[in-house]
Amino acid sequence: MTFVVNTDADRAEMLAAIGVQQIEDLFHDVPAAHRFPQLDLPPALTEAEVLADLRAMADRNADLEGNVSFLGAGAYHHFIPTLVDFVISRSEFYTSYTPYQPEVSQGTLQALFEYQTMIATLSGMEVSNASHYDGATSTAEGVIMALHLTRHKRTRIVMAPTVHPQYRAVVRTYLQGYDLEFVGEDLPPFDYLDALTELIDDNTACVVVQNPDFLGAIQSPARLQELADAVHAHKALFLVVANPISLGLLTPPGEYGADIYAGEGQATGNALNFGGPYLGLFACRMAHVRKSAGRIVGETVDVEGKRGFVLTLVAREQFIRREKASSNICTNQNLNALACAVYLTALGKQGLRQVAQSCTDNAHYLASRIQELPGYEVLNPGHFFHEFVVRCPEPVSAINDYLLHEKNIVGGYDLGQDYPELGDNVMLLCTTELNTPEQMDRLVEGLRERSEAHGA
């Protein structure tokens, strides 16, 4: 079925008005040899049939309603209040487009202005944009901004080994058209700050760290401020990636010298969705905003002096500057940014702090239980937020198979592919506020059973 409105009678009337015999005649400019190909697509389905087809595929996935998860690594299973989906399901929001006509888009614009305010507050930065595609591309846009700010005269990008491996990969993909040198990624992942500082020189455009980092570790703000000072001594830019949930509790990047904040906004109000759509959080200093990428909403007044909101600083953007634009990005991840704003509002100051505290409490409870198990060792040498690294007595895949089939648990992330230097059998575990003590005890039980079976 289609959603076309015209009837045969409508079509006949319209064709007659135009003075054309049949619809096919409208396509006379299309090369005749290739016109009207027979497409080999599956037959059309009715709504009932397509829902059954989709249900069959959805049912082949092990969803986290029926299973317990300790998987994080950049995507997090948090509770999403019912009102978030209620708001983003308002069709005035989801069936609108980019607010080119601000007079009939004040809903989107004000919501984004409020979103920008909350992200600036959360990150401790002066100004937030209206979001990027995801945390990885937001990081890449931040690095590009640093290149613009150093006038494309510097060619070194320093990245800590514990920036999310996929973010580092995306930065390298985005920047393959430039002649750049990427350093720092091969430093020891639990002890890199001093060595990273050594790598900064006068040719460095940008230094990228993540805190809490990919392995869950948190650095002290004082230590990161020292790093920021070293970055600034070389007139380079300091980019910090951080999980927004952690910022409910931890000192924000703006308070330890970050010039650019990038983050994955999924955890705040967006479902896991098998990896997308998510949103990239992005904030920076006011002095740098005119070199930044992406949509920004600003406040102004109308001809009667009434407060209103518009897209602003558009002279940076592709539709004005074309090849001289700061980026090619057009839109933001608007509906995801709206979900993030609604989530932060619904939880508010006390709620977000509570979520962050529960995540930490759970992770530390779980880590202490696992540390007691024979054959397992928690590797994080310092403080961590809601993720930590565990060395297991056998391959991670074997443990995860057992947990899934015997305990209905989706286990941790196998770090072997990204951090071979940590050795074999190393797993990244994550807890959120959704993990109950019973679930954590069940995981510990499963791990114990494996190690006993393994004779540890």
Partner 1 sequence: MALNINRPEPTLFEKSRPGRRGVRPPVYDVPRADLPQEFLRQDLPLPELAERDVVSHYVRLSRKNYGVDLGFYPLGSCTMKYNPKVNEVAARMRGFVDIHPLQPVETVQGALELMVRLQEMLAEISGFQSVTLQPSAGAHGELTGVLVIRKYLQDIGEGQRDIILIPDSAHGTNPATTSMAGLKAVEIQSDEDGNADLRSLQAVLDKYPGRIAGLMITNPNTLGLFEAHIQEICQMIHDAGGLVYGDGANLNAIMGILRPADVGIDIMHFNLHKTFSTPHGGGGPGAGPVGCVEKLAPYLPGPIPQRQEDGSLDWAMPAKSIGRIRSFWGNFGVLVRAYTYIRMHGAEGLREVSENAVLNANYLMHHVKRTYPVPYGHRTCMHEFVAQGKLPDAPDVHALDIAKRLIDLDNAHPPTIYFPLIVPEALMIEPTETESKETLDQFVADLEQIAQEARTDPELLHEAPHNAPVRRLDEVQAARRPILSYIMELQQQG
Structure tokens at 111: 């919501």
* Dihedral of alpha carbons 431, 434, 435, 439, sign: negative
Q: Which of 456, 453, 455 is nearest to 402 (CA)?
A: 453
229 versus 401: smaller Cβ distance to partner 1: 401
Cis peptide before 252 (omega within 30 of 0): no
Angle at the Cα of 28 from the Cα atoms of 22 and 34, rounded to 5 degrees: 110
Alpha carbons 176 and 165: distance in angstroms, whole number: 17
Q: Is 11 in the site for partner 1 (CB under 8 A)?
A: yes
Q: Is 287 in the site for partner 1 (CB under 8 A)?
A: no
Instruction: Give one DSSP letter per residue of 219-240, joined into a string.
Output: --HHHHHHHHHHHHHTT-EEEE
Position among 275, 381, 420, 423 found at the interface with partner 1 (CB under 8 A): 275
* Min CB(425)–partner 1 separation in Å: 16
* Min CB(388)–partner 1 separation in Å: 11
Span interacting with partner 1, options 182-190, 196-204, 226-234, 272-280, rule CB under 8 A: 272-280
* Min CB(119)–partner 1 separation in Å: 9
149 versus 200: smaller Cβ distance to partner 1: 149
Alpha carbons 302 and 96: distance in angstroms, whole number: 22
Q: Is 154 in the site for partner 1 (CB under 8 A)?
A: no
Per-residue binding letters, 414-453, with partner 1 (x by CB under 8 A): -------------------xx-xx--x-------------
Q: Is 349 in the site for partner 1 (CB under 8 A)?
A: yes
Position among 345, 376, 390, 429 found at the interface with partner 1 (CB under 8 A): 345
170 versus 389: smaller Cβ distance to partner 1: 170
User: What is the DSSP code (8-state) at residue 276?
Assistant: -
Span interacting with partner 1, options 86-94, 155-163, 196-204, 231-239, rule CB under 8 A: 86-94
What residues between 170 and 189 interact with partner 1 by CB under 8 A? 170, 172-174, 176-178
In contact, 446 and 372? CB cutoff 8 Å: no
* Min CB(56)–partner 1 separation in Å: 8
Q: Find all residues with CB under 8 Å of 440, minimum gap 6, and list them.
A: 362, 365, 366, 369, 431
Is residue 277 classed as helix, strand or coil in its secondary structure? coil
* Min CB(402)–partner 1 separation in Å: 12
| Amino acid at site 249 | L
Q: State the number of binding residues for partner 1 (CB under 8 A).
A: 209
* Min CB(315)–partner 1 separation in Å: 7
Span interacting with partner 1, options 198-206, 234-242, 345-353, 419-427, rule CB under 8 A: 345-353
In contact, 347 and 121? CB cutoff 8 Å: no
Position among 155, 197, 318, 380 found at the interface with partner 1 (CB under 8 A): 318
Structure tokens at 356: 């962050």
Q: Is 378 in the site for partner 1 (CB under 8 A)?
A: no
Strand partners, 307: 301
Span interacting with partner 1, options 185-193, 200-208, 274-282, 445-453, rule CB under 8 A: 274-282
* Min CB(34)–partner 1 separation in Å: 4
Q: Find all residues with CB under 8 Å of 32, minimum gap 6, and list them.
A: none
Q: Is 235 in the site for partner 1 (CB under 8 A)?
A: no
183 versus 314: smaller Cβ distance to partner 1: 314
Position among 8, 21, 91, 153 found at the interface with partner 1 (CB under 8 A): 91
* Min CB(12)–partner 1 separation in Å: 11
CA dihedral 129, 130, 131, 132 (to 10 degrees): -90
Tell how strand 409-410 and strand 68-69 pair up.
parallel
CA dihedral 159, 161, 163, 164 (to 10 degrees): 130
What residues between 187 and 216 interact with partner 1 by CB under 8 A? none
What residues between 384 and 403 interact with partner 1 by CB under 8 A? 397, 400-401
What residues between 26 and 55 interact with partner 1 by CB under 8 A? 26-31, 34-47, 50-51, 53-55
Q: Find all residues with CB under 8 Å of 282, minimum gap 6, and list them.
A: 128, 129, 131, 132, 138, 141, 142, 260, 261, 262, 292, 293, 294
Q: Is 146 in the site for partner 1 (CB under 8 A)?
A: no
Span interacting with partner 1, options 183-191, 200-208, 227-235, 300-308, rule CB under 8 A: 300-308
Span interacting with partner 1, options 159-167, 181-189, 195-203, 387-395, rule CB under 8 A: 159-167
Q: Find all residues with CB under 8 Å of 384, minimum gap 6, and list them.
A: 212, 215, 216, 217, 218, 363, 364, 367
Position among 226, 255, 394, 449 found at the interface with partner 1 (CB under 8 A): 255
C-beta neighbour count of 20 within 10 angstroms: 13
Q: Is 334 in the site for partner 1 (CB under 8 A)?
A: yes
